[in-house]
């Protein structure tokens, strides 16, 4: 069985709502021949393990719709929890006239766009190493009427850091899967989601966390905060990376599935 019953029901709902704009699931009329043909095409691709979001070209995130294709990861529920945490932090900073945010490795743009929709007064930058990825992110910003400053930059290249501003909040959900673990990935991820956003060299799979933490030490403003998305397997290692640098108030937070998923840390000004 490719899909469990509950997952299949969720996929069916997504298909009818996003592909056919059908929201009434108790209707009695038959689908048109055109709809049935399209449904058959979707079913065939689903049976090949292709994620429904890539089939339809759309993904839901925090109540918004995002265009997705092979150049961007599908936004995850865990990332919604990270966004909620950042928004809660933002509500504590209402006394500030301006908050500047940077999202590193923005992908579809789901993090900065959602933050901008919820906090219109924030100034938000977002970067990615891939121009093809940024094309999708810019389309999503336009789709959701969110003003984001997107630019192409490799955060691993320290010589480019001076081109960036200082920020109140820096957030990232970087690649962290060692290339040697590629064979362990599920088919729906391995064959369809972008390698660039998933995998890092075996020699130092946490290199992005290290570099971004170093960057944050240089570029966070007084009392600025760094937010990372992690997974339950690397969270403690990432925590140690941050703890070894110039940060205080370090918090490791679990997601709704009780897995270590997020880290926040405040810059320590000496």
174-221 per-position pLDDT tens digit: 987 766 666 556 666 666 767 676 667 667 889 999 999 999 999 999
Residue 17 pLDDT grade (very low, low, confident, very high; cuts 50, 70, 90): confident
Mean pLDDT check: name the lowest of 28-37, 85-94, 119-128, 244-253.
28-37
Distances (CA, A) of 41 to 6, 56, 59: 21, 11, 19
| pTM summary value | 0.90
Phi, psi of 43 (to 5 degrees): -60, -45
Alpha-carbon distance of 61 to 176, in angstroms, equals 22
Alpha-carbon distance of 107 to 132, in angstroms, equals 10
Alpha-carbon distance of 160 to 71, in angstroms, equals 23
Domain boundaries of the chain, sorted by first residue = 5-48, 70-267
- pLDDT at residue 270 in the model: 57
220-233 per-position pLDDT tens digit: 998 899 999 998 88
The runs of H, that is alpha helices, within the chain are: 5-14, 33-47, 52-56, 77-91, 110-118, 131-143, 187-190, 207-219, 235-243
pLDDT of residue 171 exceeding 70: yes
Q: Per the CATH hierarchy, to which homologous superfamily does domain 70-267 belong?
A: Vaccinia Virus protein VP39 (3.40.50.150)
């Amino acid at each position: 069985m490719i899909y469990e019953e509950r997952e299949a029901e969720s996929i069916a709902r997504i298909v009818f709502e996003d592909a056919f704009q059908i929201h009434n699931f108790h209707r009695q009329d038959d689908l048109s021949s055109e709809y049935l043909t399209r449904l058959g095409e979707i079913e065939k691709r689903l049976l090949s393990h292709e994620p429904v979001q890539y089939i339809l070209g759309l993904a839901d995130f925090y109540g918004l719709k995002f265009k997705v294709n092979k150049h961007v990861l599908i936004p995850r529920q865990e990332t919604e929890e990270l966004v909620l945490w950042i928004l809660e932090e933002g509500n504590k900073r209402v006394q500030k006239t301006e908050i500047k945010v940077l999202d590193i490795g923005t992908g579809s743009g789901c993090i900065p766009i959602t933050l901008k929709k919820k906090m219109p007064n924030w100034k938000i930058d977002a970067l990615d190493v891939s121009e093809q990825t940024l094309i999708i992110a810019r389309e999503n910003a336009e789709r959701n009427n969110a003003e984001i400053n997107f630019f192409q930059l490799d955060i691993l290249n320290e010589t480019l850091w001076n081109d960036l501003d200082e920020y109140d909040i820096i957030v990232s959900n970087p690649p962290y899967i060692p290339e040697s673990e590629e064979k362990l990935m599920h088919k729906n991820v391995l064959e369809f989601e972008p390698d660039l956003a998933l995998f890092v060299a075996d020699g130092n799979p946490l290199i992005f966390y290290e570099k971004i933490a170093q960057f944050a030490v240089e570029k966070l403003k007084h009392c600025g905060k760094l937010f990372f998305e992690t997974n339950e397997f690397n969270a403690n290692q990432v925590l140690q990376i941050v703890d070894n640098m110039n940060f205080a108030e370090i918090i490791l937070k679990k997601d709704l599935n009780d897995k270590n998923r997020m880290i926040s840390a405040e810059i320590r000004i000496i």
